[in-house]
Structure 1
Amino acid sequence: MSDDTILIQRPESAPGVQIIRMNRPEKKNALTRTMYAAMTDALRQGDADPDVRAHLFLGAPGAFSAGNDMQDFLAFAMGGSLGAEVIDFLKTLATTRKPLLAGVDGLAIGVGTTLTFHCDMTIASDRSLFRTPFTDLAIVPEAASTLLLPNIAGHQRAFAMLAAGLPFSAEEAREAGFVWRVVPPDALEAEALSLARDIAAKPPQALAIARDLIRGSEQQVLERIDAEAEHFKAQLKSAEARAAFEAFMSRKK
């Protein structure tokens, strides 16, 4: 990488754990193409390394991720491509062979939320806020969230989050089933690392088989990522999306 917006850490205190830390706090960890590419590389390299037995996503205090970088979104909406880096990351996330965990503190917007649907276990701080305002921007959900979240949380909660764009508190996310445990902010990283360390210490072959059986069809997830991406790209070029983005940017000024 040419910068440090994604930090890859393998702490001695947690053998077998690879931390993938989003590190753009001044932008609330809004994800750029460079950051997507770096996370994809980290997942692939960790999967290929027998010393890595679990991946742990972390963000910054108060901001796990604010979602996609708006400048990239605007470029897409004005006729650019969706970006191969985004799709590569989503498909790598769906096909990673080793356990995925997340420690969420604060904002988890858009892909900051949908990323967690791919995680095997997520710990969130009690100040976390999960929200996917896709339809407010006249676009559609991504990351196979339209397949994963109904399976996790049921139709009503999935519609509330992905279509109505309603925010979920950390406790509501736990009740919905995509957060395992809620802890105070100052305990978040220690709890997440402890969980990842425990997972990484288990017999890897037995764990991999159990995980594959629990997760089910990988092909369905990949097909849904592609289907969502086609709708996403079409919507980005629509008049309603352009109007929604212009309205959003005018509110930001």
Structure 2
Amino acid sequence: MSDHIQIARHGAVQIIRMNRPDKKNALTRAMYATMTQAIVDGDADPAIRAHVFFGVPGAFSSGNDLQDFMAFVTTGNMGSEVIDFLVALASAKKPLVAGVDGLAIGIGSTIHFHCDLTFATPQSFFKTPFVDLGLVPEAGSSLLGPALMGHQRAFAFLAMGDGLNAVEAKEAGLVYKLVETEELENSVLKAATEIAAKPPQAMQLSRDLLRMPQDDIIERIKLEAKHFAERLQSAEARSALMAFLTRKKG
């Protein structure tokens, strides 16, 4: 389990808060495992009717911890924590709501393809630098992205790595509503509480009808993960990751 993930309750809403501000909420394997367990436990608890994801001021998440990536390049062992989390996202039985302030990079962006509502502040910024790092899209985004945004916008976002500011993310359908920073948490919790107050069986059925078939999403997540793992051990990705880490140190 990870001390960098805080789990709390707000009535019938479970709050999953990423809290690693010194690393802009870069996600480690332990953080993924803690969030996976929270989703599974919340789904099994009839007192929980919705899940909420928060980051810290200025950073929802800066993506995966690159040291974990480099460890996989060295050892060939990526572990199961990331894929377990992505499958838990795609399989979640209760509605998912998120509040974004600031950076939403990599998984910090693709998580919102699974969220039923995402609120963001005007200074939020969404970017997926997968190809720049010699990698491929993840979290089922190669399937969900074109369905949500259309092919060209999804290609620009997921393959070219063009970032989206808050207004562009809303126009693309990745964000439901823009709110001021001081209103973010209250707005998210208000919406999640309203969702939680609805008849739960009708809500779950309605949500299932609105979403793409779960099996299709999970199949794509696993296909992306296969390519992702292969790419991480490629010379192209190794060179791109080393260059990125060198720039960061500089």
Place the TM-score, normalised by the shorter chain, in its bin.
over 0.9
Equivalences for residues 203-218 of structure 1 within 5 A: 203-218=199-214
Equivalent of residue 29 in structure 1, options 25, 29, 34: 25
Cα shift at 1:82: 2.4
Cα shift at 1:78: 2.5
Equivalences for residues 76-225 of structure 1 within 5 A: 76-225=72-221
Equivalent position of 2:6 in the other structure: 7
Q: Equivalent residue of 1:78, what SS?
A: helix
RMSD in angstroms over aligned alpha carbons? 0.8
Q: Equivalent residue of 1:211, what SS?
A: helix
CA contact (8 A) 1:79 1:237 kept: no
Distance of 1:92 and 1:218 partners within structure 2: 11
Cα shift at 1:85: 0.4
Distance of 1:208 and 1:231 partners within structure 2: 32
Gaps of 5+ in 1: none
Q: Equivalent residue of 1:20, what SS?
A: strand
Q: Equivalent residue of 1:240, what SS?
A: helix
Cα shift at 1:249: 1.2
Amino acid corresponding to residue 8 of structure 1 in structure 2: I
4+ runs deviating over 6 angstroms: none
CA contact (8 A) 1:90 1:143 kept: yes
Q: Equivalent residue of 1:75, what SS?
A: helix
Cα shift at 1:75: 1.0
Amino acid corresponding to residue 244 of structure 2 in structure 1: F
CA contact (8 A) 1:103 1:123 kept: yes
Cα shift at 1:86: 0.5
CA contact (8 A) 1:117 1:148 kept: yes
| Count of aligned positions | 249
CA contact (8 A) 1:102 1:123 kept: yes
Percent identity over the alignment? 59
Equivalent position of 1:69 in the other structure: 65
Equivalences for residues 47-66 of structure 1 within 5 A: 47-66=43-62
Amino acid corresponding to residue 104 of structure 1 in structure 2: V
Distance of 2:114 and 2:59 partners within structure 1: 19
What are the superposed Cα offsets for residues 63-83 of structure 1, whole Å, 9 maximum, x if unpaired? Answer: 000000010011122242222
Cα shift at 1:166: 0.6
TM-score, normalization by structure 1: 0.97
Q: Equivalent residue of 2:31, what SS?
A: helix
Distance of 1:129 and 1:52 partners within structure 2: 30
Gaps of 5+ in 2: none
Cα shift at 1:237: 0.8
Equivalent position of 2:37 in the other structure: 41
TM-score, normalization by structure 2: 0.98
